[in-house]
Structure 1
Amino acid sequence: MGDLQIDSFVFDARPSYPLLVTAKRYLHPSFSPDPDALTLVFAHATGAHKECWEPVLKHLLSVNGKAKIREAWSVDCPNHGDAAVLNEELLQWGYEPIFSWESQYAKVLHRILNGLGKGVPVDFSSRRLVAIGHSMGAVSWLLTRTFYPPPRFVSLVLVEPMILGPSFTGGSVAEFLEGSTAKRRDVWASREEAYLALLPRYRYDRDAMASYVEHALRDLPTALYPDKQGVTLKCTKWQELACYRDYQSNKLAWRYIKDACADLPVHFINGAVHDTLPKELKEDTVVTATAGRYKSWQEVQGAGHLAPQMAPKGVAEAILNVLADPDFSHKMPVSGSRL
């Protein structure tokens, strides 16, 4: 990551919230101390980790010539990444079979930004915040605004948001994700073996795959596998399943997003490949759910639902298209045929 300075933090909102949360702050010599500069806050998808945004951030820094950035932050969902390790004992009971995006990830993101806890030494209320989320993370950022007081975002950037409207709640997307997760291998002899096994399956960019192997895996033994050796997932596949079984949050996001769009600029970034999310579902979210109030809509070529991992450079360029306009007032020409 070159000259990027990375600082790690543990956010503790106890006694009002029982789970610990891990976050990282990214600083770079090109960043500006100007109070008007932007603070980027990232949230990840189900099955990912806060560091999954690092390849995107690397490309963003390499091509950025217009956006004035102050800091970047990325936050783990409480049952993912390093947070899952810290919360291992608590997560064994009470957070399955359903782990709510709204009452867990969105709630803790809201608390971090509003300073409702300790361990993160930043007053985000004084920052010009751009919230960038992928899939579950996109929905979670959106739903933070349903808590009081709502975070003061300059803009929301939703990457492949997992938002399901009335025409798409029959279960096909959830059934696919649940079925593939339940059958997924989750123990490998080493990180090297995991890298070679997972790269062709996920079709990740190589930097993204290396990040996954480094940050999404942990050494065995664990509470789930006390007698095994090698490496396994920090977010167990049972916790990942619990996230996929939250059928409510993505519906609430569909109902709410038009109100968010009426209050601040909301930008969409989708993969041009319609794998997990059908073309019609994306159109329904961007056009119908927002009542046409969205600010921009871009596609990343060669990327599907896992766009930040499959095409981090393309996602970075799309984010910069949003950030480069200081007023966030541009609206890109988009028609339904683009999807």
Structure 2
Amino acid sequence: MLVESLICSPTPSYPYHIAAKRYFVRSHRGAMEQRCDGYDKDLTLIFLHPTSFPKEIWEPTIEALLHEHDLWGARIREAYAIDCPNHGVAAVLNDGLLGDCAAGTKLFAECAMQFLLNGPSLSTPVDFSKRNLVGIGHSIGGVAVILMQAMAIPIKFRSIILVEPMLDANPGDGYEQLRTRLVRSAYKRKDVWNNRGEAAAYFRNTVRWHPRILDIFIKYGIRDHPTHTHEVSPFDGVTLACTRDQEALMYRDKDGATTPIQDLNVICNRIPVHVIFGGNPDYLPQSTQDGLTDPKSGRRFASVTRIPNTGHLVRICLLIPLCDDTEHMLAPPAGPCGVGCRIVSGHSVLC
């Protein structure tokens, strides 16, 4: 798998740096087949991460999908992962720009959409409006994917995959209790270490990390402490790329779990939307998840999958099968030409 780092500088119309990565296999970058309506037949995947994790957390998933595409009878052209402005590499670039801005799903969605709009000016120009796009998001990343489709901009996904989306179709105490717990956890978490090795030892004991995922987090979710460049008594330790304050701001997005439901109601009837939950409802309660997928709500999901022995951090804890018999999970709907890519992802991984 080849990787290209992409940085978009602030513009008069968008105030933050955007950090993204392009992932591809060399054999995929040749001539790509187009449908008769001018759109690519091959898929371009757009990945959005969960709160407090960097975009690179998706890399094992992307690598597996790119290398296993031949098993499905369809091709993935390339994939992109995008940092929220206050996460990962983007957080470092945006030092001093974010302040106490109203962080949340809207911040992430606007950033991701701006990146797609910047496609023609990338080092390898891309017209994303002509790409066969699949949006894939975990937690708040999934909510941002939904918000992107509600924007009045002509770049749309052909299908969507939501992993443990932070959505509440029937607002109640369940989500508010979770919000309070997450905000408190953000402020109480340790955020300074002498070096990355010390940070890795600390996080190894916090959740059931898969070693590869932990390595990625330590490399991209941890940064040099901002004071390491101070002229007097610099501190050469490390800290979280997404600060405790910024993480808490993400959770405090007042309507972030409820307002997008109206957009989802529309999207579900327009394109295939797949939902994946961990089998253990350790974040949003089971009743909230059931309320989201309730057929009586009018929301029509292409598939609802539960992966046993995992919870909300399903991609972080284990390298596990996505779903043994899932079909069409990444396939866009048939277009005007009657062309629809059929992808069987029984051998892919979710982490």
- In the superposition, the TM-score normalised over structure 2's length comes to 0.84
Unmatched tracts of structure 1, length 5 or more: 331-339
**Are the counterparts in 2 of residues 47 and 235 from structure 1 also a CA contact under 8 Å?**
yes
> C-alpha separation between the residues in 1 aligned to 2:151 and 2:331?
29
Name the SS of the counterpart of 2:96 in structure 1: helix
Q: Distance in 2 between matches of 1:289 and 1:45?
A: 29
Give ranges in structure 2 of 5+ residues lacking alignment. 34-39, 335-339, 343-351
Cα distance, 1:126 vs structure 2: 1.1
- State the SS of the aligned residue for 2:298: coil
How far the C-alpha of 1:145 sits from its partner, in A, is: 1.5
Q: Which residue of 1 aligns with 2:105?
A: 101
Alignment match, 1:58? 63
The answer to whether structure 1 residue 10 and structure 2 residue 7 are counterparts is yes
CA separation of 1:138 and 1:37: change in aligned 2, threshold 3 A: same
Cα offset, 1:243, TM superposition? 0.5
Contact 2:161 2:330 in 1 (8 A): no
Contact 2:46 2:80 in 1 (8 A): yes
1:70 paired residue number: 77
Match of 1:21 among 14, 18, 23: 18
Q: Alpha-carbon deviation of 1:150?
A: 4.5
1:134 to 129, 138, 145: 138
SS at match of 1:179: helix
Residue of structure 1 aligned with 2:216, choices 211, 215, 233: 211
Aligned to 2:337: none
| Contact 1:134 1:161 (8 Å CA) reproduced | yes
Alignment correspondent of 1:333 = none
Change in 2 beyond 3 A, CA 1:202/1:320? farther
For residue 41 of structure 1, what is the aligned residue in structure 2? 46
Q: Is the 8 A contact 1:106 1:141 kept in 2?
A: yes
The offset of 1:12, in angstroms, is 3.3
Partner of 1:243: 250
Are 2:106 and 1:84 aligned? no
Could you tell me how far apart the structure 2 residues matched to 1:311 and 1:283 are?
24
> Kindly, what percent of the aligned residue pairs are identical?
34
1:290-327 Cα shifts (integer Å, max 9, x gaps) = 62411111122222111121234334878876126885
Structure-2 separation of matches of 1:289 and 1:193: 50
Q: Read off the aligned partner of 2:113 and give its amino acid letter.
A: H
Output the CA distance in 1 between the equivalents of 2:171 and 2:18. Answer: 35
Q: 1:100 to 1:77 in 2, by over 3 A?
A: same
Counterpart of 1:270 in structure 2 is 277
Change (3 A) 1:74 1:116: closer
Q: Give the Å deviation of 1:283.
A: 1.1
d(CA) in 2 for partners of 1:262, 1:132: 18
Once the 2 structures are TM-superposed, how far is the Cα of residue 11 of structure 1 from its aligned partner?
Answer: 2.0
Give me the CA root mean square deviation: 2.8
Trace 1:109-188 onto structure 2 (pairs within 5 A): 109-115=112-118, 118-119=121-122, 121-168=125-172, 171-188=176-193
**What secondary structure is seen at the aligned counterpart in 2 of 1:175?**
helix
State the 1:129 CA deviation: 0.3
Residue range with higher mean Cα deviation, 173-182 or 301-310: 301-310
Asked if 1:302 corresponds to 2:309, the answer is: yes
Residue 227 of structure 1 and its aligned partner are, at CA, apart by 5.0
CA pair 149-61 structure 1, distance change in 2 beyond 3 A: closer
Deviation, 1:173, is 1.0
| 1:194 and 2:199 correspond | yes
Going from structure 1 to structure 2, the CA distance change for 1:246 and 1:147 (only over 3 Å counts) comes to same
- 1:36 to 1:317, Cα distance in 2 relative to 1, 3 A: farther
Identify if the C-alpha distance between structure 1 residues 325 and 76 changes in structure 2 by more than 3 Å, giving closer, same or farther. closer
Conservation of the 8 A alpha-carbon contact between 2:104 and 2:253: yes
Indicate if the aligned counterparts of 1:144 and 1:150 stay in contact, CA closer than 8 A: no
Change (3 A) 1:185 1:157: same
Q: State whether structure 2 residue 300 is matched by structure 1 residue 293.
A: yes
Q: 1:84-105 CA distances to partner (integer Å, 9 max, x unpaired)?
A: 00001112x241xx41311x11
Q: Is the 8 A contact 1:52 1:212 kept in 2?
A: yes
CA–CA distance in structure 1, aligned partners of residues 265 and 116 of structure 2: 23
Separation (CA, whole Å) in 1 of partners of 2:84 and 2:319:
20
Q: CA separation in 2, counterparts of 1:312 and 1:117?
A: 35
Partner of 2:268: 261
Identify, as 1 or 2, the structure richer in helix.
1
Query: For 1:21 and 1:284, how far apart are their aligned partners in 2?
Result: 35
Cα distance change, pair 312–126 in 1 and its aligned pair in 2 (3 A): farther
Question: Which whole-Å deviations, capped at 9, do the CAs of 1:269-307 have from their partners, x for residues lacking one?
Answer: 111111112111111112269624111111222221111
| Preserved CA contact (<8 Å) 2:52 2:87 | yes
Higher CA-based Rg: 2
Matching residue's letter, 2:138: H
Mapping of residues 211-230 of structure 1, within 5 Å: 211-222=216-227, 227-230=234-237
User: What letter corresponds to residue 6 of structure 1 in structure 2?
Assistant: V
